[in-house]
Amino acid sequence: MTQPILQVSELKVYYHTSQGVVKAVDGVSFSLQKGEKFGLVGESGSGKTTTAMALMRLLNPPAFVEGGHITLNGRNLLALSEEETRRARGAEISLIPQGAMNSLNPVMRVRGHFHDTIGAHRKVSRGEDMSTTIERLLRKVGLPPDVANRYPHELSGGMKQRVIIAMSIALEPSVIVADEPTSALDVVVQMQVMATLDQVQKDLGAAVILVGHDMGLMAQFCDRIGVMYAGTLVEVAPVSQLFEDPQHPYTQLLISSLPDFETKGRFRGIPGLPPSLRALPPGCTFHPRCPKVLDRCKTVVPAYREIAPARWVSCHLYDGGAG
C-alpha cells in the first residue's frame, strides 16, 4: 500500500465545560489513500463532526486538541500557523459543511462566492475575468453557467448544494471533507448530489471523508467505513466486509437495525441510549448496551487493533482468548 495522503493518529479533542472535561474525540486513528472514499458514521454525539472540524482546524473554544497528529501530504496540520492553515484550507483540504445550503451569503451572487473562495488563496485583480473558471466549475457539477449570476434564493436546495461542491473543488484539494452533505435534501436530490460528488471526486482524484449516519448512503458511496461510538472508532473495514460480516457488537446492531422487506413492520433498534460524554461508563463505553458483554468489558478499555488486513476493531471479543 502506498503512503497515505492523510494520516490521523491518536486524535483527541476535548471540551472544557463547567462540569469538567468532555472527551468528544478520544484517540481516533485512521488513514486515507489518494482518491479513497472513507465514511465516518455514528450517532449524534459520537464525535464524527468534531473529528471533521479538527481536520479542518475549525474547532472553536471550548473545544481544543488535547493530543494526536493529523498529517496531510506529509505535513502535520496541527503544527501549522494560522496563516499556513488558512492557505491549506480549500487548497489542500476542503469542507462541504453541514447545512451547506444555508452557508451561501443571501445577498451575494454565486459568482461572488467563487471570487471570495479563489481570492482568499491568490490575488484576483479587479479586472480579471474569472468567468471561464467559474463556468468550468459549475459545469463540472452539472449546473448551467448562468447560475453564476443568480442569488442563492433563486436556486433549489440541490443546486445550492452543487454550488457548494463546485466551490469545494475550486482549488483542487487532495482531500474533501463532506459533513452530512445531503441531510436537508429529499432522496432524489440526495442521490443527484451524491452522484455529483462522486463524479468530481473521480475527476479530481481527491480523497473524500463522508461524515454521516445514513448507512445506505455510506454503503453506496464509500470504499471503507469507520464506525464511531462515544468519541472513539470502534470498527473500520472495507464497505462490503462491514455490511456482510460486521465484527463489533455495535456495528452488528447498527446493521441489523437497518430496515428490509423481510422484517417489514418490525422495528429493531439498539437497546439503551448512547452515554453522556460527561459521564462515560468505565471500560468499554458500549458495555451497558452490549449483548455480548464480558466481565472485563466493564473495567478494561479494549485496544483498537487490526484483526485482519484492513480490519480494525476495538472490542475484547478479539483479544485472543475470549472470542
Q: What are the residues binding ligand SF4 (CB under 6 A)?
A: 248-249, 284, 286-287, 290, 292-294, 297, 302, 315-317
Smallest separation, CB 272 to ligand SF4 (Å):
12
Question: What distance, in Å, lies between the first and last C-alpha atoms of the chain?
Answer: 29
Smallest separation, CB 278 to ligand SF4 (Å):
20
φ/ψ (deg, to 5) at 214: -85, 100
- Give the integer Cα–Cα distance in Å for 27 and 173: 26
Measured from the CB atom, is 27 or 249 closer to ligand SF4? Answer: 249
**C-beta atoms surrounding 274 within 10 Å:** 17
Measured from the CB atom, is 31 or 232 closer to ligand SF4? Answer: 232
Measured from the CB atom, is 158 or 246 closer to ligand SF4? Answer: 246
- Give the integer Cα–Cα distance in Å for 291 and 84: 47
Do 204 and 172 touch, CB atoms closer than 8 A? yes
Smallest separation, CB 235 to ligand SF4 (Å):
10
**C-beta atoms surrounding 304 within 10 Å:** 19
Measured from the CB atom, is 152 or 302 closer to ligand SF4? Answer: 302
Smallest separation, CB 23 to ligand SF4 (Å):
17
Measured from the CB atom, is 175 or 294 closer to ligand SF4? Answer: 294
Measured from the CB atom, is 93 or 297 closer to ligand SF4? Answer: 297
Rg value, the chain, Cα: 21
Measured from the CB atom, is 79 or 322 closer to ligand SF4? Answer: 322
Measured from the CB atom, is 13 or 315 closer to ligand SF4? Answer: 315
- Give the integer Cα–Cα distance in Å for 233 and 216: 19
Smallest separation, CB 173 to ligand SF4 (Å):
36
Smallest separation, CB 287 to ligand SF4 (Å):
4
Smallest separation, CB 302 to ligand SF4 (Å):
4
Smallest separation, CB 136 to ligand SF4 (Å):
49
